[in-house]
Amino acid sequence: MTDVADVAADTRRERIVSMVLEHEFVRVTDLAGLFGVTSVTIRADLELLDRQGSLRRVRGGAIPAKPLRAAEPSFEVSLGSAAVEKTRLARHAAGLVVSGESLVIDAGTTTTFLARALVARPELTDVVVFTNSLRVAVELEPAIPRITVLLTGGTLRPATHALVDPLGALMLERINADTLFLTCHGVDAAAGITGVNLLEAEMKRKMLGAARRHLVVADSSKLGRTGLAPVCALPEVDLLITGGEADPATVETLRDEGIAVELVD
């Protein structure tokens, strides 16, 4: 497993914000031990995040900047959440891509890590990527011309840096790609694959129709969760790639419902 002490400062701060939102209070000493840095460094991080409005600095640690409420987390907060697991999943998913393949890559934090993993495979050539994610496109840019990048177009959602309707699905309706890498808010035996936003869920459904093979990449926290917006039933997915941390009973239930599950440690 990647040593969290090697995590860059920006990523460390993103993860600190995520931890504050999850636990409501984090201690300076605990954060220093987790990230392998000094308490002085953590205090500097918290003071910077406090000035940015990302959290509230209090004696001994930090708390959320605002009262917690059920809401869609920002892309930056989600990027820091389960970052180590998402990196593992992304590297595994990238290993399934071959030269000459055409891909549709959904917007999401895990697919942002996937884009980085694809760039890190210099032997990949003649790969075409269609994406509705500004972040994915930017991450793939260093691999041009080995990887050709096409943005779907559409209306920008700032929360996730995703392009959606109006005009988001026109390109998807005109292509027949090999493989789709899909993200989601939840994977549930009864509800299937779900999203948190109706406009993005509609784009995901269009992506399903634009590719022959459907791969869902979701960290283990997504299993057993149900979001507001239905995307598809489990049998429409060829493979679910998730972390070895996933609850075994939940994984077995999903498999019983007809979805192949690959666990990545």
Segment-wise mean pLDDT, segments of 10 residues, the chain, 265 residues: 54 86 82 90 93 88 68 52 85 98 96 96 98 97 97 92 93 97 96 94 97 97 93 97 95 94 96
Task: Round the CA-based radius of gyration of the chain to a whole number and report it.
Answer: 19
Predicted local confidence at residue 30, as pLDDT = 87
Structure tokens at 149: 């990048």
Predicted local confidence at residue 195, as pLDDT = 94
Partners of 182 in beta bridges: 216
Structure tokens at 166: 């109006």
Predicted local confidence at residue 66, as pLDDT = 67
**In this structure, are strands 192-195 and 186-188 parallel, antiparallel, or unpaired?**
antiparallel
Predicted local confidence at residue 69, as pLDDT = 44
Predicted local confidence at residue 5, as pLDDT = 43
Contact 119, 53 (CB under 8 A): no
Partners of 179 in beta bridges: 103, 213
Predicted local confidence at residue 3, as pLDDT = 41
